[in-house]
Structure 1
């Protein structure tokens, strides 16, 4: 298990350091309690360049979305494995009031999103095994 840096507040000057699963849950709960689709940006505290993990939470809908970048690759969660980035309108998540597009079918159940965030922490920044993932398009 590693410490994580969490970024999610518009006026944050420093990362919130997350040391325990309970602290991670507190961050996820706070963000899931907000209106709309909101992102938490997570990094391994001792090596922030190792991976970037965006955890999208849409608490009212019980859904969320994930983005992982590490090892020169980028991945989005997907509810329909094997599909490409479709022509359907993307969904927007917000990180510190900045919008970020996700594929239309990237939203997955919130409990899967939470488990993935915990797996990211326990594996030291590896891409979580669940959910299903889709590689980001070349133009991303």
Structure 2
């Protein structure tokens, strides 16, 4: 398990450092409780920017999205769910919005498990998620 930098508070100058599963759950609970689809960015604290997991949570719909990027991989990836939504889902991160692919939403429980796997593997891409190549 590694410590993570969790970026989600636009008023904070520094990230929230997450060292335990309980601390990660507290951050995920905070975002899921927002009245809109929110997003946080998780970075490995000892090597920020090398591997990135963006986690979007929509507590009201019990859905979420993931974005994964690793400098060793040729592409970035978004989660892929079984449904297509129209319009494409938008999640808000620190004052800006990100449109995800129309097929990116997955159950919130899967999003949470993926965040924990990312932490426990030291930045590995979560295995129990179906991924699609991210295209702009």
TM-score (normalised: structure 1) = 0.90
Q: Secondary structure at the match of 1:61?
A: coil
- For residues 133 and 82 of structure 2, the distance between their equivalents in structure 1, rounded to whole angstroms, comes to 13
Which of these residues, 73, 79, 82, is aligned with residue 81 of structure 2? 79
Secondary structure of the 1:130 match is: coil
Deviations 1:93-119 (A, max 9, x none): 000110001011111000000000000
Matches within 5 A, 1:8-87: 8-70=8-70, 71=72, 72-80=74-82
Q: Secondary structure at the match of 2:23?
A: helix
**Whole-Å Cα distance in 2 between the matches of residues 104 and 36 of structure 1?**
18
- Distance, in Å, in 1 between the alignment partners of 2:50 and 2:107 is 26
Number of equivalent positions: 134
Q: How does 1:86-105 map to 2 (within 5 A)?
A: 89-105=87-103
In the alignment, the residues of structure 2 paired with residue 34 and residue 26 of structure 1 have an alpha-carbon distance, to the nearest angstrom, of 13
Q: Which runs of no fewer than 5 residues in structure 1 stay unpaired? A: none
Q: CA RMSD in A?
A: 1.7
Q: Is the 8 A contact 1:56 1:93 kept in 2?
A: yes
In the alignment, the residues of structure 2 paired with residue 126 and residue 18 of structure 1 have an alpha-carbon distance, to the nearest angstrom, of 17
Query: Which runs of 5 or more structure 2 residues have no equivalent in the other structure?
Result: none
Question: Does the CA contact (< 8 Å) of 1:4 and 1:121 recur in 2?
Answer: yes
